Structure 1
Amino acid sequence: MSGFLGLGLLPLLLSLLLSAGANGKEEEKENVYIVYMGGIPLLTSEISIEESHSRVLASINPRIGGQRANKSLIHQYKHGFSGFAARFSKDEADAIRLKEGVVSVFVDPIYELHTTRSWDFLQETSVETDSGRAAVAASFPLSGGSDTIVGLLDTGIWPESESFRDSGLGPIPSRWKGICMKGSDFSSSNCNKKLIGARFYNLEEPDPTDSPRDEGSPRDDLGHGTHTSSTAAGIPVMDASFYGLADGTATGGSASSRIAMYKVCGSDGCPGSAILSAFDDAIADGVDLLSISLGASSILRPDFDADPIAIGAFHAVAKGITVVCSAGNDGPKAGSVVNAAPWILTVGATTIDRYFESDVVLGGNRKAVKGDAINFSKLKKSASYPLIYGASARLNSSSDDASASHCDLDSLDGTKIKGRIALCKHFENDSSKILKIDELKTMGAIGTIFVDDMERLVASSYISFPVTEVTTEGAKEILEYIDSTENPVATILPTITVKKYKPAPEVAYFSSRGPTLQTSNILKPDIGAPGVNILASWTQNNDSIVTPSGEKVSHFNLLSGTSMACPHVAGIAAKIKSWNPSWSPAAIRSAIMTTGTQKNNENVPITTDSGSAATPYDIGAGEINPTGVLNPGLVYEIDAKDYLQFLCNYGYTTDTITKITAIPSGFECSKNSSKDLISNLNYPSIALSNFTAKETRVVTRAAKNVGDTETATYVADIKSPKELSVKVVPDKLQFSESAKIVSYQVFFSASSTQLKGEYFGSITWSDETHRVRSPFVVKTAD
């Protein structure tokens, strides 16, 4: 308390206490709020921005003005946009909302992380399923990109990882203005010509009475940031594996790009105030693109002007920076996709053709039952261990058969479990498998078989304890065996790596799905990419991973999530940028979306994990094609005024948009602005909502020729469900030296009066060399 009184604020403190006593209540609790003040006017200096923030604070309550303002302020945003994060009360937040120049005020949210062979698989799939386009792209270099700077907002980085060595790289690009921040266990020498920048942010809410402290570090203690960084832009590392599994060469999507890490996440999550600070710094530092594998919960998703990622990405894209974000891990629930602003490239997760098999061997000369999981079982390979179904080990007094069959906590009799392998069902809403295993181990179980259809192909990591997961079909065979004998026995085999698994890719069960609830007239996610059991670099922090007995901490780890899919796309986007330095974020996204792959390695349409056909709500424009993206033929550009009109159509007022963009006076929203007109944003996909059988809806698009020749003719190919009539006018696009951009219209009408639900199709423009595909979805009013 002495530090507070030492500021000479004792009279103010006494007056506040007296005031609280007079009102009969204590001073209102303070929280950290973000005050977003939009774009920075052209002639505004940094000093005047900082002063404007202090003035806003002082204007609502003198107690947080002057010297105290420096204590209340946590972050100030002054490079790419204006605003600040500070601690004050709800009443003060309400007062700030009314101040001139303020766009929004919201409580600092805590966002969550969306947490080798994948690159080989992408290359092979693109060749197998689209040989013509792959052959064209083969003439384009797949290396390069040393002048491209990939920024990541994540948990930090482990700089000693082999993935971040700088051998063979030239000088750091002169436009780079970033720094390598010193931390408690990090110095400038940890950066090099590969890892060219590292920043960290105060992830704890500071006590306003504390003096400034030099805490923290860009170092990654959790592993997530190291994993995503090496996936996006790590150099090739030979003989990589996770204790012998997934062995091969680990490499990033753009192995010669530079990396800049912005540590915004800790063990308690990712504060929005830190995320906005990282965006602000990254814009000033000079990154070319940002990879962001985190986001809001799909349950409590903020609007665009109260979402730190949407805000930061808007200003980054305005500066020419491509922003790639994960779609979230709340699938397969419909409407669960996050990071869905149209200026963001949103990525869903798919599987690759690698499977981690851990089979169950049954007694009685029965065939092995296929299972999948990551374990390094030391059990004998012959079936010699007693096997019991959870329901047969029920605690008579306190559980029912259903709870026991799932091995729910406190439902089993330990005396019946001890020394046996337990077979347990598992549903999505059960207690976690780890909690179940901890209890089973305490009871003396020697292994566990989980029955789980949803998570098949996503191999959970159990390390030393023998655990595997089987499908309901496999469990049926195990239960039939248990019922056939008085003394059932089994064993669980250690995991092996199975390559060339088919079918692949499939949409991962956890990958968040469309439609976006913010505006179903934009189709999200945009694209799918590998996000299941991805091998990439890891920290050497002994607490960051459970190691098999007698082993050292692995330099690599296997993780799943849209967090892992996002850096795959970021790496490919960096490669596109390196060969097309003048391309805008919209052009890069268009190249990625319009060349997406639709078929799997069996040359049939990609499916979800349940076996159903994948729709654009599941996978957007398809699986990313790392070769086709380099020669897309046509792209769909979106400039600043298009995004402004989107904001008008979404419902923001001219006054609010003027503040957000800091554009000169004179901009006005169209009088006919409406959410239906969002469909006219020049996006590489098309989405219509509230469609009725009695109307004809017209959508406009403009395509830009970026092919090898200025003269080209593209013809439309429409694939539409029978319930819809879809017509393109004109159905032939003629490009020339004087006509590099050509517009067309798409007319949607019903061919059936019984129109209800969601209908999917595509429009593909082809010149016999390129195929430029745009998926569409038409969603009826009911």
Structure 2
Amino acid sequence: MWLLPLICFVLALLLAAGASGGGGAAAGGGNGGGGERRGVYVVYLGAVPPRTSPNILQQTHLRLIGAVLKRGQPVESVVVQQYKYAFSGFAARLSAAEAAALRRKPGVVSVFADPVYHLHTTRSWDFLQQQTTAAVDVKTGGSARRRRRSPRARAAAASASTSSSPTADTIIGLLDSGVWPESPSFDDAGFGPVPARWKGVCMAGDDFNSSSCNRKLIGARYYDVGGEAKRQSARSSGSSPRDEAGHGTHTSSTAAGNAVTGASYYGLAAGTAKGGSASSRVAMYRVCSGEGCAGSAILAGFDDAVADGVDVISVSLGASPYFRPDFSDDPIAIGSFHAVAKGIMVVCSAGNAGPDAATVVNAAPWILTVAASTIDRYFQSDVVLGGNNTAVKGGAINFSNLNKSPKYPLITGESAKSSSVSDTESASHCEPGTLDASKIKGKIVLCHHSRNSDTPKTEKVGELKSAGAVGAVLVDDLEKAVATAYIDFPVTEITSAAAADIHKYISSTSEPVATITPTITVTEYKPAPVVAYFSSRGPSPQTPNILKPDVAAPGVNILASWIPTSTLPAGEEKPSQFNLVSGTSMACPHVAGAAAAVRAWNPAWSPAAIRSAIMTTAAQLNNDGAAVTTDSGSPATPYDHGAGQVNPAAALDAGLVYELGEEDYLQFLCDYGYDASQIKLVAASLPGGFSCGAGGNASDSKDLISGLNYPSIAVTGLGKASGTRTVSRVVTNVGAQQEATYTVAVAAPAGLDVKVVPGKLEFTKSVKKLGFQVSFSGKNAAAAAKGDLFGSITWSDGKHTVRSPFVVTI
């Protein structure tokens, strides 16, 4: 089974190289010697050695490129990007032979075809604040404890939107599609001077100049390969930091946008839109165009963000889970490793390939990986049936102008099947070309839609509208939580159970009629949160011994700033400054905002400590007081939402944290299987160097990854009939009380024996770090089921609850 993904990945790289070769040849001087086509390749050289200036690195890169080019060919003509601050490397237009020659050069960690990644497309923050006071299920004796907000958490919440908050000097950098600087979310009224440590710039470009930045939006960069390549290749990011897609404006305002009163999407979701760290500064690194995000630009964004002085980097994009590169060939893994080594928190989206298992991306252990969940808001649009005016509940975004009375003929797709079509099922799904336009004109059409449908919903609806239908009802169980915007065409989406009621009504009368109501906003909707169907799931195929994703955050129907659009509802004269968008892209900046707040209140904390605080304080209960579920109603597991739903205020007072540093991550790379020469280059910035510890590159070394001091635990391959696996952890007391005693509580599934030694941790003024061991045994073969078993380990001192989920694969 491993061979097919490998073949697919190789084919993807070849296709990527070919795609870049077309643009590269035109912009970079044509074909190489011998008629070889050129493509963009990234050459990664590891960390920047101590006392090495950027100028020296630039010259080193040029000499390295020149060594593989034909004599007389200008080196500068093939260079696309150079990386010289956070790490060393470059991107260049090369032939396959030249790329292969560079791979063989000493000092080169990896060479790979420049990949194209894709974007993972203020009620949410109000909902998270409400959830802060909800019960946090810590599985102590079967009861739930209520977390009290600490004085620090209350102070942080009170000051979150003022420039006097500690977060006012926190800088969040986003690698995304750009920014719309005129949005009120980026107004700088009330902000003090830009932090003196900021070294970034506001790059001028098309319809963007240095005055587009201010004391809120303090920096903006873009990355452009230029010339014909810009027009032909997805590796272009445009010629300006200005956002042409809306995505970057949405994510940056979600992370750090000002509080904007009276925000809505044409009246829907009305209220105050605000970012999670509203007083933080924003820096945008435009690495994406509408076609995708070039790996070479992503690396440049990381490199500049580190040099500019950001505190948190938010990345709402990633590779395909089906063509997932290894860490040494992944621009996000490479860039984030070196950012974290410099003390910068990196938060990434988990991907939108759910609900399939093993689809999570951005799963490197130095990244905080975020899944998506719903909030307590629903956009309701009902189907009202004739006869007794029965309302069938549905959901979507439409500004229907249909009569409120059910007067429009109602027909199913199957009944409207064209006589030339034999496939009844396709007609019931309203696939294009299967319906008779004369049968649906003037009618509301009921269409089924499933994950395996050949055609997107919006395309089906467009076909119905063109054929003269007055509205549509889509039956969609999987995607029902995500409100699709149909604007002026009356459309709503219902469940299969609701569809059964409509089918029953249609069969009960010779002239079925209905209407569709315009959308209304329903708040305090239950249950919430629910893990979104699209959110990518664990385990990570790369690192099953690291539990991913890490946490979940709101990522469904999120209201945030947007770019102007020409698609307006009838009667509207101005485009909305806000939009409702879904995806793990939207979840990621929620956690980036929370991370910025934690860092502001704990400026000495490492990225690992911040991640630990966010994970160990996450909530597992919904607003019904029950365990969080997936949108199918099944209990959510750590593969769905990691440690749980992010709880921003609670993370400010975590009690204990799990620390990790650069050397721990380097040891992870050793255990993962990288050779000593590669590790040496990645570790080149460490003054004393680095060598793999015992077990590095051993046949069972990947099992050692379970021992990484991570806030969650994952153990694979535990024997059912015999065998015990023991992992170690170390926690640091960061609570206000230097003298504190924590006791442990274990929640374990049937058939799995879990023991924690010691069961009590006593911290003093002189003892701030203490270790413990967790032993897992599957000896109870009669009760243990083969597969993944989930549970948790929670330390508590009566005030703090520090919870770590675990998964053990039998």
Partner of 1:81: 87
Separation in 1 of the partners of 2:188 and 2:229? 40
SS of 1:54's partner is helix
Partner of 2:807: 777
Partner of 1:587: 609
State the shift of 1:204 in Å: 6.0
Separation in 2 of the partners of 1:208 and 1:375? 37
Q: 1:742 to 1:473 in 2, by over 3 A?
A: same
Candidates 689, 697, 708, aligned match of 1:681: 708
Q: 1:74 to 1:63 in 2, by over 3 A?
A: farther
Candidates 515, 532, 535, aligned match of 1:491: 515
Range moving further from structure 2, 318-327 or 127-136: 127-136
Gaps of 5+ in 2: 1-28, 137-144
Q: 1:470 to 1:207 in 2, by over 3 A?
A: closer
Candidates 179, 203, 209, aligned match of 1:187: 209
| 1:343-422 → structure 2 map (5 Å cutoff) | 343-422=366-445
State the shift of 1:61 in Å: 2.1
Tell me, yes or no, if the aligned pair for 1:203 and 1:264 is still in contact at 8 Å. no
Matched, 1:640 2:662: yes
Separation in 1 of the partners of 2:683 and 2:226? 30
Partner of 1:108: 114
Tell me, yes or no, if the aligned pair for 1:654 and 1:667 is still in contact at 8 Å. no
State the shift of 1:207 in Å: 5.0
Candidates 729, 751, 758, aligned match of 1:730: 758
Partner of 2:61: 53
Tell me, yes or no, if the aligned pair for 1:587 and 1:636 is still in contact at 8 Å. yes
The residue identity in structure 2 corresponding to 1:141 is A
State the shift of 1:456 in Å: 1.4
Tell me, yes or no, if the aligned pair for 2:45 and 2:108 is still in contact at 8 Å. yes
The residue identity in structure 2 corresponding to 1:682 is N
Partner of 2:156: 141
SS of 1:743's partner is strand
Partner of 1:746: 774
Partner of 1:328: 351
Flag as ranges the 4+ runs of structure 1 deviating above 3 A.
Answer: 137-140, 203-210, 545-551, 663-666
SS of 1:141's partner is helix
The residue identity in structure 1 corresponding to 2:471 is G
Gaps of 5+ in 1: 1-12, 21-26
Q: 1:175 to 1:608 in 2, by over 3 A?
A: same
Tell me, yes or no, if the aligned pair for 1:35 and 1:104 is still in contact at 8 Å. yes
Separation in 1 of the partners of 2:231 and 2:132? 58
SS of 2:339's partner is helix
Tell me, yes or no, if the aligned pair for 1:418 and 1:445 is still in contact at 8 Å. yes
Q: Deviations over 1:186-230 (max 9, x none)?
A: 1111111000000011166755999xx997111111111111111
Separation in 2 of the partners of 1:205 and 1:40? 31
Tell me, yes or no, if the aligned pair for 2:683 and 2:689 is still in contact at 8 Å. no
Candidates 478, 486, 498, aligned match of 1:454: 478
Separation in 2 of the partners of 1:559 and 1:184? 26
Separation in 2 of the partners of 1:438 and 1:452? 17
TM-score (norm 1): 0.94
Q: Deviations over 1:43-62 (max 9, x none)?
A: 22222211111112111122
The residue identity in structure 1 corresponding to 2:574 is K
Q: Deviations over 1:137-190 (max 9, x none)?
A: 544422220010000001100111111011111111110000000012111111
Separation in 2 of the partners of 1:134 and 1:141? 14
Tell me, yes or no, if the aligned pair for 2:224 and 2:237 is still in contact at 8 Å. no
Matched, 1:40 2:40: no
Separation in 2 of the partners of 1:133 and 1:480? 48
Separation in 2 of the partners of 1:560 and 1:712? 42
Partner of 1:198: 220
Separation in 2 of the partners of 1:64 and 1:199? 33
Q: 1:772 to 1:488 in 2, by over 3 A?
A: same
Q: Deviations over 1:12-63 (max 9, x none)?
A: x99x99x74xxxxxx1211111011110101222222111111121111225
Separation in 2 of the partners of 1:214 and 1:452? 35
Tell me, yes or no, if the aligned pair for 1:136 and 1:769 is still in contact at 8 Å. no
The residue identity in structure 2 corresponding to 1:503 is P
Q: Deviations over 1:517-542 (max 9, x none)?
A: 001000000000000000001112x3
Q: 1:550 to 1:249 in 2, by over 3 A?
A: closer
Range moving further from structure 2, 586-595 or 47-56: 47-56
Q: 1:743 to 1:232 in 2, by over 3 A?
A: same
Partner of 2:625: 603
Tell me, yes or no, if the aligned pair for 1:453 and 1:471 is still in contact at 8 Å. yes
| 1:276-291 → structure 2 map (5 Å cutoff) | 276-291=299-314
State the shift of 1:120 in Å: 1.0
Partner of 1:98: 104
Q: 1:214 to 1:565 in 2, by over 3 A?
A: closer
| 1:503-652 → structure 2 map (5 Å cutoff) | 503-540=527-564, 542-543=565-566, 545-652=567-674
Separation in 2 of the partners of 1:640 and 1:37? 17
State the shift of 1:135 in Å: 3.0
Separation in 2 of the partners of 1:187 and 1:205? 21
SS of 1:462's partner is strand
| 1:153-172 → structure 2 map (5 Å cutoff) | 153-172=175-194
SS of 1:643's partner is helix
Separation in 2 of the partners of 1:469 and 1:208? 40
| 1:118-137 → structure 2 map (5 Å cutoff) | 118-130=124-136, 132-136=146-150
Separation in 1 of the partners of 2:527 and 2:125? 17
The residue identity in structure 2 corresponding to 1:590 is S
Partner of 1:692: 719
Candidates 491, 501, 504, aligned match of 2:525: 501
Q: 1:548 to 1:735 in 2, by over 3 A?
A: farther
Separation in 1 of the partners of 2:683 and 2:204? 34
Q: Deviations over 1:579-599 (max 9, x none)?
A: 111110000000000000010
Tell me, yes or no, if the aligned pair for 2:723 and 2:779 is still in contact at 8 Å. no
The residue identity in structure 2 corresponding to 1:706 is V
TM-score (norm 2): 0.91
Separation in 1 of the partners of 2:118 and 2:390? 43
The residue identity in structure 2 corresponding to 1:776 is F
Separation in 2 of the partners of 1:635 and 1:702? 9
Q: 1:615 to 1:204 in 2, by over 3 A?
A: farther
Q: 1:484 to 1:313 in 2, by over 3 A?
A: same
The residue identity in structure 2 corresponding to 1:763 is I
Separation in 2 of the partners of 1:547 and 1:157? 24
Separation in 1 of the partners of 2:378 and 2:544? 35
Q: Deviations over 1:490-527 (max 9, x none)?
A: 00000000011000000000000000000100000000
Partner of 2:737: 709
Q: Deviations over 1:610-642 (max 9, x none)?
A: 001000000000001121101000000001211
Tell me, yes or no, if the aligned pair for 1:716 and 1:763 is still in contact at 8 Å. yes
State the shift of 1:128 in Å: 2.4
CA RMSD, 1 decimal: 1.9
State the shift of 1:670 in Å: 2.6
Q: 1:708 to 1:29 in 2, by over 3 A?
A: same
State the shift of 1:366 in Å: 4.1
Q: 1:371 to 1:490 in 2, by over 3 A?
A: same
Separation in 2 of the partners of 1:321 and 1:522? 21
State the shift of 1:247 in Å: 0.3
Q: Deviations over 1:670-711 (max 9, x none)?
A: 342300000011000000111112111010000000001110
Partner of 2:11: none
State the shift of 1:412 in Å: 0.7
Tell me, yes or no, if the aligned pair for 2:237 and 2:289 is still in contact at 8 Å. no
Range moving further from structure 2, 751-760 or 459-468: 751-760
